[in-house]
Amino acid sequence: MRYEAIEPRSREEVESAISRNIPDELSYAVVSAALYSDDPVWAEAVCLRMAGHDNPNVRGNAVLGFEHIARIHRHLDESRVRPLIESALVDGNDYVRGQADSATDDVEQFLGWKVRRPR
């Protein structure tokens, strides 16, 4: 895993990326929505949609997006997001599980949630 700068993308650019469904493009678009949107409800909706994607990089970055939204906006819908993070903690992909572990730390710290970790 290596760091890559994420460029801001407009809502229209993110929605277009979602409609094209190209995993490499979506991996960046979902993180851009979480980092740069001033609408946390919309950014959360993008992450919710992408958290179930077939591609593990897209799924993992959607979970990473939850982490950013929690840290930046201090807002997420617990009833919708917490189950997805808990599911990602047992995902079959190492990258997704790692992002879920990190997201768990942030939602617990910034939102006061208690996330069930696998035993």
Stretch 51-74: mean pLDDT, rounded? 97
Percent of the chain at pLDDT > 90 equals 94
Beta carbons within 10 angstroms of residue 12's beta carbon = 8
End-to-end CA distance of the chain: 26
Q: What is the pTM of this model?
A: 0.94
- Domain locations in the chain? 11-111
Average pLDDT, the chain: 95
Residue 33's closest CA among 20, 56, 16? Answer: 16
Give yes or no for residue 1 having a pLDDT over 60. no
